[in-house]
Amino acid sequence: MKTLIKNGTIVTATDEFQADILVDGEKISAIGLNLSENVDRVIDAAGKYVMPGGVDSHCHFEALNTDGVTYNGDFNTSYVCLLGGTTTIVDMAFNEHDEDGNFLNLVDSCNYRLNTRIKGKLAPDIALHACCTNYTEETKSELPKLVEMGIPSLKLFLCFKGTEMYADDMALLNCLEAAGKCGMFVLVHAENSDVLDKYRNEAAAAGHFEPKYQYYTRPEFGEAECVSRAIRFADQARCPINICHVSCIEAGEEIRKAKEEGKAVIGEACTAWLTLDWHLMDNPDWRVASHFVCSPPLRDQEDRDYLWNALNKGTISLIGSDNSMTNQEQKDTGWDEENKHCDFRKIPNGCPGAGDRMHVIWTYGVEAGRINRKKYVEACCTTPAKLNGLYPRKGAIAVGSDADIAILDPEYRGTFSVETNPSGVEYSIFEGMEQKGRFETVLLRGKVVVENAKYVGTPGEGQFIPGKPYGLAYDLLEK
Ligand code: MN
Ligand code: MN
């Protein structure tokens, strides 16, 4: 099967130019002016931007919610990624449990995800972060095996003390030491658990239970302190570290200073924190407010301004979605039936957004003049591919790369809505916001999976893409 994409404007992380792309089978086989060849299909991309398919380095599908009981949206919903121009997700493979509730180790958990959870459902391609919710001595011995399997990264949660997700300082330092020895990088959710527990308990004692207390009880300094500590530990252990979903100026400044000192740290921003305000949690309807409860919390305009600038300055390197398809029924568990009010502490954290990431960042980043098109491709496609050892197979428009190609119509005008932009659950956190530009056609390994902005692929055709160790973050380690 050969496809020719003609007359488009190709945008990469470093260039923008007019050229045609020849796709042969699953790969890009030629890029040039006026390519002519006997092909099965011609796609006219005149007036469109032709970009590498997006790589989303921060997704949670079929993940345990923060209530520790329910699971968020499963891989049946992963087609929304393709509609939104994302062709590869990097999913968090947390420690599974066996039938008796015991932890499975990470290798078995990753295999379960790849051999069972995604089967017949996965629409885009997938890579994994091992997401450790039970760091033990065995974990240490598993790391080289994970690298061999093509999983060169490990995530730890430094908050949620009192739940099984929490990793203490000793686990963090031990994990960093072991990971750095085998070419893995470590990702962290960085918020100081004691700081936020103190404020959460005080708020509850004072009778404050509304969703907006998610914002008041997770102060910037608690995030910044944890970011600083994690970076120092990583530097000591000589392991690169990725700070997930940086939300505020104080935390960003810790990363900026550390980078200036030559420390190997990668900052990630996520769509919601770049575009949404915490006052959305002040909705008089607590069930609507609950949609926006995530951690760290959504913050202020000055924080968002800082994050956009930090992308341009290189303090922040990539944009993920932190997709967590927590449906309304699950969000409703934030209701305290005995006391007849919601309790922000019980609302499962997390927002959907894997399908919206590229559209929202195009509209509120590129069209709003905050970042240029090359930075968009860099932050949404190329850097995440490099970080996860997937480049140049993914994240590139280049001869020999996978033909994952997203074609955007910049003239499209619409409104973000769960009707037109499915999120995988009943609501969209971007509902009612103006949309500029839309992906009309998306190819996954040479096959058209989105046509006229409709999903035309087959669930289950997404593949596991093994990542190589010693990815981009290792370039930052001082030799
Ligand atoms: Mn997180
Ligand atoms: Mn997350």
91-126 confidence digits (pLDDT tens)? 999 999 988 888 999 999 999 999 999 999 999 999
Strands annotated E in 116-215: 125-131, 153-157, 185-189
How many angstroms separate the alpha carbon of residue 382 from the centre of ligand 2?
A: 20
How many angstroms separate the alpha carbon of residue 16 from the centre of ligand 1?
A: 34
How many angstroms separate the alpha carbon of residue 232 from the centre of ligand 2?
A: 22
Q: What is residue 479's predicted lDDT score, i.e. its pLDDT? A: 64
How many angstroms separate the alpha carbon of residue 58 from the centre of ligand 2?
A: 6
Q: What is residue 336's predicted lDDT score, i.e. its pLDDT? A: 96
Instruction: State how far the Cα of 459 lies from the Cα of 218, in Å rounded to an integer.
Output: 39
Q: What ligand has the least distance to the C-alpha of 159? A: 1
Please give the model's pTM, rounded to 2 decimal places: 0.98
Instruction: State how far the Cα of 383 lies from the Cα of 389, in Å rounded to an integer.
Output: 10
Q: What ligand has the least distance to the C-alpha of 59? A: 2
Please, which residues bridge with residue 18 across strands?
A: 9
Residues 6+ apart with CB under 8 A from 475: none
The two structure tokens encoding residue 461: 């055709």
How many angstroms separate the alpha carbon of residue 90 from the centre of ligand 2?
A: 11
How many angstroms separate the alpha carbon of residue 80 from the centre of ligand 1?
A: 21
As a whole number, the mean pLDDT across the chain is 97
Instruction: State how far the Cα of 105 lies from the Cα of 95, in Å rounded to an integer.
Output: 6
> Exposure pattern of 341-375 as b/e (b: 16+ CB <10 Å)?
ebbbbbbbbbbbbbbbbbbbbbbbbbeeebbebbb
Instruction: State how far the Cα of 351 lies from the Cα of 30, in Å rounded to an integer.
Output: 39
332 pLDDT band, cuts 50/70/90, is very high
How many angstroms separate the alpha carbon of residue 63 from the centre of ligand 2?
A: 10
Structure letter (DSSP) for residue 360: H
How many angstroms separate the alpha carbon of residue 402 from the centre of ligand 2?
A: 27
How many angstroms separate the alpha carbon of residue 248 from the centre of ligand 1?
A: 14
How many angstroms separate the alpha carbon of residue 322 from the centre of ligand 2?
A: 5
- Nearest CA to 440 out of 30, 51, 173 is that of 51
How many angstroms separate the alpha carbon of residue 156 from the centre of ligand 1?
A: 9
> Residue range 436-440: average pLDDT?
98
87 pLDDT band, cuts 50/70/90, is very high
Share of the chain above pLDDT 90, in %: 94
Do the bridges between strand 335-336 and strand 2-6 make them parallel or antiparallel, or are there none, so unpaired? Answer: unpaired
Three-state DSSP at 190 gives: coil
> Residue range 202-216: average pLDDT?
98
Q: What is residue 70's predicted lDDT score, i.e. its pLDDT? A: 83
The two structure tokens encoding residue 141: 């011995």
Instruction: State how far the Cα of 242 lies from the Cα of 154, in Å rounded to an integer.
Output: 10
> Residue range 222-241: average pLDDT?
98
Number of C-beta neighbours around residue 141 at 10 A? 12
How many angstroms separate the alpha carbon of residue 245 from the centre of ligand 2?
A: 8
Which of 91-105, 322-336, 368-382, 458-472 bottoms out in mean pLDDT, i.e. has the lowest? 91-105
Residues 50-83: tens digit of each pLDDT: 999 999 999 999 998 877 778 899 999 999 999 9
> Residue range 317-330: average pLDDT?
97
How many angstroms separate the alpha carbon of residue 189 from the centre of ligand 1?
A: 5
Which of 67-71, 232-236, 460-464 bottoms out in mean pLDDT, i.e. has the lowest? 67-71
Q: Which fold has domain 54-374?
A: TIM Barrel (3.20.20)
Helix, strand, coil shares of the chain, percent, nearest 5, are 35, 25, 40
- Nearest CA to 154 out of 124, 115, 180 is that of 180
Instruction: State how far the Cα of 348 lies from the Cα of 329, in Å rounded to an integer.
Output: 10
- Nearest CA to 454 out of 89, 80, 122 is that of 80
How many angstroms separate the alpha carbon of residue 445 from the centre of ligand 2?
A: 27
User: Phi/psi at 194 (nearest 5 deg)?
Assistant: -65, -40
DSSP string, 323-380: EE---HHHHGGGEETTTTEE-GGGSPP-B--TTTHHHHHIIIIITTTSS-HHHHHIII
Q: What ligand has the least distance to the C-alpha of 188? A: 1
How many angstroms separate the alpha carbon of residue 411 from the centre of ligand 2?
A: 32
Q: What is residue 244's predicted lDDT score, i.e. its pLDDT? A: 98
> Residue range 238-255: average pLDDT?
98
The two structure tokens encoding residue 382: 């190329």
